[in-house]
Chain A
Amino acid sequence: DTGVSQDPRHKITKRGQNVTFRCDPISEHNRLYWYRQTLGQGPEFLTYFQNEAQLEKSRLLSDRFSAERPKGSFSTLEIQRTEQGDSAMYLCASSLLSGGTQYFGPGTRLLVL
């Protein structure tokens, strides 16, 4: 068990550019979650997957955001046409179905200039 990993750990981009983040969950974990954390706030739910199926999306996830988990293992979160308001820490978590504990990765910190 190597824990949840996220790549990259930091990303600086210019407004209008596209960015993609990757999350590798703990192996055999069925559920994978994406959260966003801005400065001084707690994490906010964005979306989650059970295996490859995306089961719920928050209203925070605008049309510029898309998430995939194509083979039920790793997941990607893409932000198109980034805006300064997208600057945040993007957190990924995974859990075993009915296990009840979400294990979080270290996050990807995005700065949009």
Chain B
Amino acid sequence: AQSVTQPDIHITVSEGASLELRCNYSYGATPYLFWYVQSPGQGLQLLLKYFSGDTLVQGIKGFEAEFKRSQSSFNLRKPSVHWSDAAEYFCAVGGNRDDKIIFGKGTRLHILP
């Protein structure tokens, strides 16, 4: 069965520190992987996506993610977080470009000043 696991419900980091949000997926075929961000009162915004090719994917707002097939992981990273990055982050998997997306439960990111 398709599933996404985000093991950290909450993460707190200091402003300027580096960030890594973990994501593991279970999918029977080649996955299409996504990271979305949701701020309070805002819709889901796509940060980045992996379909094929280079396993290190660059996204918006300085985020990147690395697809590791052997570990079934797609972790999100940012070298230096800003207070405006405080939000909920969702990892998701799909079967092809047009398929429904299966989301993880999310990781809420808190930023300390």
A contact residues vs B (CB 8 Å cutoff): 4, 31, 33, 40-45, 48, 50, 56, 58, 91, 93, 95, 97-107
Number of interface residues of B (CB under 8 A): 22
One of B4, B43, B46 near A107 (C-beta < 8 A):
B43
Residue of B nearest to A4 (CB): B43
Interface of A is mostly: loop
Q: Interface residues of B: mostly helix, strand, loop or mixed? A: strand
How far is the CB of B57 from the nearest CB of chain A, in Å? Answer: 13
A33, A100, A105: the one within 8 Å of B49 (CB): A100
Of chain B, the residue at the smallest CB distance from A3 is B43
How near does chain A come to B44, taking the closest CB pair, in angstroms?
A: 4
Report B's interface with A, CB cutoff 8 A: 4, 32, 36, 41-46, 49, 51, 90, 92, 97-98, 100-106
23 contacts between A and B (CB under 8 A): A33-B100, A41-B105, A42-B90, A42-B92, A42-B103, A42-B105, A43-B90, A43-B103, A44-B103, A45-B101, A45-B102, A91-B44, A95-B98, A97-B98, A99-B97, A100-B51, A100-B98, A101-B46, A101-B49, A102-B46, A104-B43, A106-B41, A106-B43
Contact between A48 and B100 (Cβ–Cβ < 8 Å)?
Answer: yes
